[in-house]
Structure 1
Amino acid sequence: ERRAAAAHASDHLASLRDDLAGTLQRLEAEEAASAPLRRLSALFDGRNPQGLDLETYAIGAMFDRVLAAANRRLGPMSGGRYRLEREAEGGGGRGRRGLGLQVFDLFTGKARPTATLSGGETFIAALALALGLADAVESASGKVRLDTIFIDEGFGSLDAEDGAGTLDRVLQALGALVGHTRAVGLISHVPLVQEAIPNGFYVHKEPAGSRIETRGPV
Structure 2
Amino acid sequence: MAATRHTDATETARNSAAEAGFRTLDEATDALQPVTAVRQWQTELDQWDKDDAAVADLLTTPELVDAVRLAPADPAAAQAAVAAAEAAVKAAANTTHEAHTRATELRRLTDELTPSVATLERLRADHALADRLAEVAGGRSTANTLSMELEAYVLAGRLKEIATAANTRLLTMTSERFQLVYSQDKDPGKGRAKAGLTLRILDNWTGLERETATLSGGETFTTSLALALGLADVVTGEAGGRPLGVLFVDEGFGSLDEQSLTDVMDVLDQLRAGDRAVGVVSHVGDLSNRIPTQLHIRKERNGSTVHSVLADA
Question: TM-score band (shorter)?
Answer: 0.7 to 0.9
Q: Could you tell me which residue of structure 1 aligns to residue 206 of structure 2? A: 108
Q: Compute the displacement of 1:91 (Å).
A: 2.5
1:50 to 146, 150, 158: 146
Asked if the contact 1:148/1:184 (under 8 Å) is kept, the reply is yes
Q: Distance in 2 between matches of 1:187 and 1:141?
A: 27
Q: Compute the displacement of 1:54 (Å).
A: 2.1
Q: Distance in 2 between matches of 1:143 and 1:75?
A: 23
Q: Distance in 2 between matches of 1:138 and 1:80?
A: 25
Q: Distance in 1 between matches of 2:276 and 2:216?
A: 28
Q: Could you tell me which residue of structure 2 aligns to residue 9 of structure 1? A: none
1:183 to 277, 297, 308: 277
Q: Distance in 2 between matches of 1:213 and 1:131?
A: 29
Q: Could you tell me which residue of structure 1 aligns to residue 178 of structure 2? A: 82
Matched positions, count? 182
Gaps of 5+ in 2: 1-124
Q: Distance in 1 between matches of 2:269 and 2:133?
A: 48
Q: Whose helix fraction is larger, Structure 1's or Structure 2's?
A: 2
* Pairing 1:98–2:196 present: yes
Alignment of 1:1-218 (within 5 A): 42-46=135-139, 47=141, 48-92=144-188, 93-142=191-240, 145-160=243-258, 165-217=259-311
Percent of pairs identical after alignment?
A: 41
Asked if the contact 1:188/1:194 (under 8 Å) is kept, the reply is no
Per-residue Cα deviation, 1:15-45 (whole angstroms, up to 9, x for no partner):
xxxxxxxxxxxxxxxxxx99xx687665333
Q: Compute the displacement of 1:197 (Å).
A: 0.2
Q: Residue type matched to 1:88 in 2?
A: Q
Per-residue Cα deviation, 1:138-168 (whole angstroms, up to 9, x for no partner):
11223864210111111000012xxxx1111
* Higher RCO (Cα < 8 Å, 6 or more apart): 1
3-state SS, counterpart of residue 273 of structure 2: coil
Q: Could you tell me which residue of structure 2 aligns to residue 22 of structure 1? A: none
Per-residue Cα deviation, 1:62-98 (whole angstroms, up to 9, x for no partner):
1111111111110100110001122222224321111
Q: Distance in 1 between matches of 2:252 and 2:293?
A: 20
Q: Whose strand fraction is larger, Structure 1's or Structure 2's?
A: 1
Q: Distance in 1 between matches of 2:241 and 2:206?
A: 42
Q: Residue type matched to 2:223 in 1?
A: A
Structure 1 residue runs of 4 or more that deviate by more than 3 Å after TM superposition: 37-43
Gaps of 5+ in 1: 1-32
Moved more, 76-85 or 44-53: 44-53
Per-residue Cα deviation, 1:160-218 (whole angstroms, up to 9, x for no partner):
2xxxx111110011000003152100111111112210111111112122121111236
Query: Quick check: which has more Rg, 1 or 2?
Result: 2
Moved more, 150-159 or 85-94: 85-94
Q: Compute the displacement of 1:58 (Å).
A: 1.1
Q: Distance in 1 between matches of 2:296 and 2:156?
A: 42
TM-score, length basis structure 1: 0.76
Cα RMSD for the two superposed structures: 2.4
